């Protein structure tokens, strides 16, 4: 019964139609939250006692890092749905989410390393979080490369799903192993958002920025998945009628 329920609501056509309904609101809400969070954080949040004004990158870096992980987590759920229940839409969503993941992971890496220049004096450090984010970036690229190497799209979908599922198990392993490795070399450096006592005047714009980034990335993902689904299903009648 669960299988038929899943199959009824997971047709690519209904996905495109349903998301088209609320896409404008998601995009508008995402942009507004992001603008609100960033303007508040840039102009109105107080200066940090230790880091000065460069800490304001936090309102961009933390949302980006969170989204980088969340998008992979989303992809792994889709991969499970594709492998176990043979939901084709899930494979389309993985393929659409991967470029969004590449973008946001790059933003996370770039913002983190530019932030490191005034904070640590160096734009790169081999600590657990940075290295595992870099590896996550490479994993996203590997997934895209894998899918584009096969001309048989169904085979490519299944192989990509297998790789995503194997990779998601790897993410905590990488984090733990690099953590274990780096604790031998250096003490814990300044941890940006681990502070249990982050001031509310900084917490509110941060939360709003995280929400805004999530909605913006969801909106971008909806757009990319619409394009990809239409391309993959272009021989179907409902796509022909789309024009």
Partner 1 sequence: MINFFSLEAFKLRHKLRAWLGPLLIMILVLIAFPLSIDISQYDLNKFYFSVIVVSLLMISFLATESIFSEDYEDGSLEQIHLEEKDFYKITLAKILVHVFFIGIPMALIGSIFSFANGVSLAEVPKIFVTLSISTLILFNVFTFGSALSINKGSMLGVVASLPLALPAIVLLGRGVRSVQYGQGFFEVSVLMAGVALIVTALMPIIISATLKTHLE
Partner 2 sequence: MLNFSFTDFHDFLTMDGHGIYVWTVYLVTFTLIAVSFLIVRRKLNIFKRKLENASE
Cα(19)–Cα(196) distance, integer angstroms: 37
By CB under 8 A, tell whether 231 contacts partner 2. yes
By CB under 8 A, tell whether 239 contacts partner 2. yes
Of residues 57 and 87, the one with the C-beta less far from partner 2: 57
Of residues 135 and 239, the one with the C-beta less far from partner 1: 135
Strand partners, 39: none
Contacts with 142 (C-beta within 8 Å, 6 or more apart), sequence order? 163
Selected range binding partner 2 among 79-87, 109-117, 140-148, 184-192, rule: CB under 8 A: 109-117
By CB under 8 A, tell whether 45 contacts partner 2. yes
Q: Residue holding tokens 């971008």?
A: 220
DSSP element (H, E) containing 54: none
Q: Which two tokens stand for residue 136?
A: 């996550």
For 109, how many CA atoms within 13 A lie in the half-sphere containing its CB?
Answer: 17
Of residues 5 and 44, the one with the C-beta less far from partner 2: 44
Cα(160)–Cα(168) distance, integer angstroms: 12
Whether 64 contacts 107, CB under 8 Å: yes
HEC letters along 146-185: HHHCCCCHHHHHHHHHHHHHHHHHHHHHHHHHHHHHHCCC
Pick out residues in 77-106 that bind partner 2 (CB under 8 A).
Answer: 100, 103, 106
> 169-198 burial by CB neighbour count: b if 16+ within 10 A, else e?
eebeebbeebeeebeeeeeeeeebeeeeee
Residues in binding contact with partner 2, number by CB under 8 A? 42
Name the minimum Å distance from CB 72 to partner 1.
12
Judged by beta carbon distances under 5 to 8 A according to partner kind, the member of partner 2, partner 1, none in contact with residue 146 is partner 1
Neighbours of 50 (CB within 10 A): 7
Pick out residues in 190-209 that bind partner 2 (CB under 8 A).
Answer: 200-201
Of residues 54 and 125, the one with the C-beta less far from partner 2: 54
Query: In the complex, which residues of this chain contact partner 1 (CB under 8 A)?
Result: 135, 138-139, 141-142, 145-146, 149-150, 155, 158-159, 162-163, 166-167, 170, 173-174, 177-178, 180-181, 184
Q: Report the interface residues with partner 2, using CB under 8 A.
A: 38, 40, 42-47, 52-54, 56-57, 60-61, 64, 100, 103, 106-107, 110-111, 114-115, 117-118, 200-201, 216, 219-220, 223-224, 226-227, 230-231, 234, 239-240, 242-243
């Amino acid at each position: 019964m669960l299988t038929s329920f899943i199959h009824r609501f997971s047709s690519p056509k209904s996905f495109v139609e349903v998301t088209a309904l609320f896409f404008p609101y998601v995009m508008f809400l995402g942009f507004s939250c992001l603008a609100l969070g960033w303007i508040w954080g840039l102009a109105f949040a107080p200066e940090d006692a230790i880091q000065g004004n460069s800490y304001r990158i936090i309102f961009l870096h933390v949302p980006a890092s969170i989204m980088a992980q969340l998008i992979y987590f989303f992809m792994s759920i889709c991969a499970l749905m594709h492998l176990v229940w043979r939901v084709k839409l899930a494979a389309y969503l993985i393929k659409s989410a991967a470029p969004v993941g590449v973008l946001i992971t790059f933003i996370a890496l770039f913002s983190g390393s530019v932030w490191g220049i005034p904070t640590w004096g160096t734009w790169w450090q081999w600590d657990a979080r940075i290295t595992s984010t870099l590896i996550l970036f490479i994993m996203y690229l590997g997934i895209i490369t894998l899918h584009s190497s096969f001309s048989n799209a169904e085979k490519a979908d299944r192989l990509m799903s297998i790789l995503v599922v194997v990779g998601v198990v790897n993410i905590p392993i990488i984090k733990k192993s690099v953590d274990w490795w780096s604790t031998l070399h250096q003490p814990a450096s300044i941890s940006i958002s681990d502070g249990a006592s982050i001031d509310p005047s900084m917490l509110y714009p941060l939360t709003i920025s995280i929400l805004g980034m999530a909605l913006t990335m969801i909106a971008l993902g909806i757009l990319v998945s619409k394009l990809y689904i239409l391309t993959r299903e272009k021989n179907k009648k409902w796509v022909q009628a789309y024009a």
